[in-house]
Structure 1
Amino acid sequence: MKFRKVTALFMAAAVLGSVGLTGCSSQGSGQSSQENSSTGSGDLLAQIQERGEIVIAMEGTWAPWTYHDESGTLVGFDVEVGQQIAQALGVEATFVEGEWDGLLAGLDAGRYDIMINGVDITEERSDAYDFSDPYAYNRTAVIVSGDNTDIASMEDLEGKRTANTISSTYAEVAEGYGAEVTGVDDLNQTFELLLSGRIDATLNAEVTYYDYMEAHPDANIKIACLNPEATQVAIPFRKGEETASLREAVNQALADMREAGALAELSEKYFGTDITQPA
């Protein structure tokens, strides 16, 4: 679902964090995952279990995947998935928030152990990262103003103005259909541009649209069409033997959650439907 640049603010967030959670924290430990690792081990899972925490990157601004509730607590489908993975590994989950552009870059640099943020598997990303097994499936919606009659299919995006975080899969899809994409920092900016008429459409997860409408029932927007192909959502890891055992352990945790019905339960809780099964 959604790929964005490392800024000084994001670096600070990686060190300081912002939100406390019961049993987990967005503040981090004041060190990168590399700095926390045992210098004698090239096995990331062993390093994580030795220090007793797994550092998970996410945006914190993309409901219902990862966002802050009215009390300011970090919540969401991916937050709870991360907590349950940490529990399966026998460690605490430490969440570090930042803008999308910096999340994968931070994963590359070793500031985070994994990223859980509704990440779609793409061919380009698969060249750069190893992925867990899919734990959710996404349909992309083309969202327009309520009175828009110019867009009724994906092909109608040709020459239209859209907005997304610039390295997201949604931006890539829009560009692939000939749209002119404006880069934004987060979902809220996207809808502000759409509602003000400065863009013609935006692409995002179908479930994100319904979540937004639940919070903003009077918003004058609608789904113009859906991309017929669902994308696979998974957890990216740095490539290499260092992450192999961690990836295996995460896959086992996801499989156990799926078998126990926990993934479907979380999906129903946050999306109102089960997006954890292929269509």
Structure 2
Amino acid sequence: MKKSLAYVLTLLSLLVIGLTLTLPVDAASKKKTIVLATDSDTAPFTYKEDDKFKGYDIELAKAIFKDSKDYKLTFETVPFSSILTGIDAGRYQLSANNFNYSEERAEKYLFSDPISKSNYATATKDGVTYDSLDDLSGKSVELYTGSNYAAVLEKWNKEHTDKTPITINYVANSVTLAQRLQNVESGKIDFLFYDAISLKTVIEDQDFDLKVTNIEGSVGGDKDGLEYILFADDAEGKKLQSFVNKRIKALKKDGTMKKLSKKYFGGDYVSSLD
């Protein structure tokens, strides 16, 4: 009797082990959750609508990580000034926020292949045109500290000490692009310096009586107007960069990026990318 009971228990143990080995593995449980930081206030690249993340950068990121076997992508709204420090601290693994290239950023972070190409531009009252950085001498603007746009104008001031400097008023990240454009319209500041796509989008959406003029000539070198996704410059960041770049190539080739560009930008701002 004892032998029969032992035999039955052995069979049951083997059956349980067999079932355990043949049960399907939950693939989702093996995925690494990564956080994409964005300020949700840079339409049409990234914004929120009915509390949902929207925009070209957001939908492109979703397409990049769709059906990924290794990553589960999540989004978090973060003040612009805290995005890079959050990446430094490891709270966020990447950011898509209409980031342009700068040598200072390249010393600390990794860049994806470019995902769109716009132009540096100014927003001014109708009848006023600034189409070069020299035109901005003695004029006033509002910018975020640490932004690429601030860096461009700060550099111009340093390199042109013989001219009247551009007056840069640094504002809190809570001051939206629409609010700053309103300050141009009211005459509080002379112009806004930003990318042409964002300026045109917000001006049209808010019905501001302002005009957008592209800055002529080279402003930041051969990477003028190019937009990138940023990663931490570490082992995980390099792995993510490689994955994202492969997906960018595929999504450009299959027309997804062009489709998203037309949806959010109203035109093709990706086909000219190398």
Same fold (TM over 0.5): yes
Q: Select which of 256, 261, 267 maps to 2:261.
A: 267
Q: What is the percent sequence identity of the aligned residues?
A: 28
Match of 1:244 in 2: 238
Q: Partner of 1:265: helix, strand, or coil?
A: helix
Q: What do you get for the CA RMSD once the two structures are aligned?
A: 2.0
Instruction: Write out the 4+ residue segments of structure 1 that deviate beyond 6 Å after TM superposition.
Output: none
Greater Rg over alpha carbons, structure: 2
Code of the residue aligned with 2:211 in structure 1: it is K
* Aligned positions of 1:84-163 closer than 5 A: 84-90=63-69, 91-148=71-128, 151-163=130-142
Q: Write the distance in 1 (CA, Å) between the matches of 2:185 and 2:251.
A: 39
Q: Partner of 2:142: helix, strand, or coil?
A: strand
Q: Aligned-pair distance for 1:225?
A: 4.1
Unpaired segments ≥5 residues, structure 2: 1-27, 158-165, 219-223
Q: Aligned-pair distance for 1:240?
A: 2.5
* Structure 2 residue 200 is the aligned partner of structure 1 residue 221: no
Q: Partner of 1:177: helix, strand, or coil?
A: helix
Summarize the Cα distance change of 1:224–1:253 in structure 2 as closer, same or farther, 3 Å threshold: closer
Code of the residue aligned with 1:226 in structure 2: it is I
Q: Write the distance in 2 (CA, Å) between the matches of 1:204 and 1:226.
A: 10
Q: Write the distance in 1 (CA, Å) between the matches of 2:113 and 2:67.
A: 16
Code of the residue aligned with 2:240 in structure 1: it is L
Summarize the Cα distance change of 1:131–1:124 in structure 2 as closer, same or farther, 3 Å threshold: same
Match of 1:183 in 2: 170
Comparing 171-180 and 201-210, the one that deviates more: 171-180
Code of the residue aligned with 1:146 in structure 2: it is D
Code of the residue aligned with 1:114 in structure 2: it is L
Q: Aligned-pair distance for 1:189?
A: 2.9
Match of 1:194 in 2: 184
User: What's the TM-score once normalised by structure 2's chain length?
Assistant: 0.77
> Which digits, 9 at most, give the CA deviation of each residue in 1:6-47, with x for residues without a partner?
xxxxxxxxxxxxxxxxxxxxxxxxxxxxxxxxxxxxxxxxxx
* Structure 2 residue 51 is the aligned partner of structure 1 residue 72: yes
Q: How many matched pairs?
A: 229
Code of the residue aligned with 2:199 in structure 1: it is Y
Summarize the Cα distance change of 1:235–1:225 in structure 2 as closer, same or farther, 3 Å threshold: closer
Code of the residue aligned with 1:174 in structure 2: it is L
Q: Aligned-pair distance for 1:247?
A: 1.2
Code of the residue aligned with 1:165 in structure 2: it is Y
Unpaired segments ≥5 residues, structure 1: 1-47
1:54–1:86 CA contact under 8 A, matched in 2: no
Comparing 84-93 and 261-270, the one that deviates more: 84-93
Q: Partner of 1:166: helix, strand, or coil?
A: coil
Q: Partner of 1:191: helix, strand, or coil?
A: helix
Code of the residue aligned with 1:183 in structure 2: it is Y
Q: Write the distance in 1 (CA, Å) between the matches of 2:167 and 2:30.
A: 48
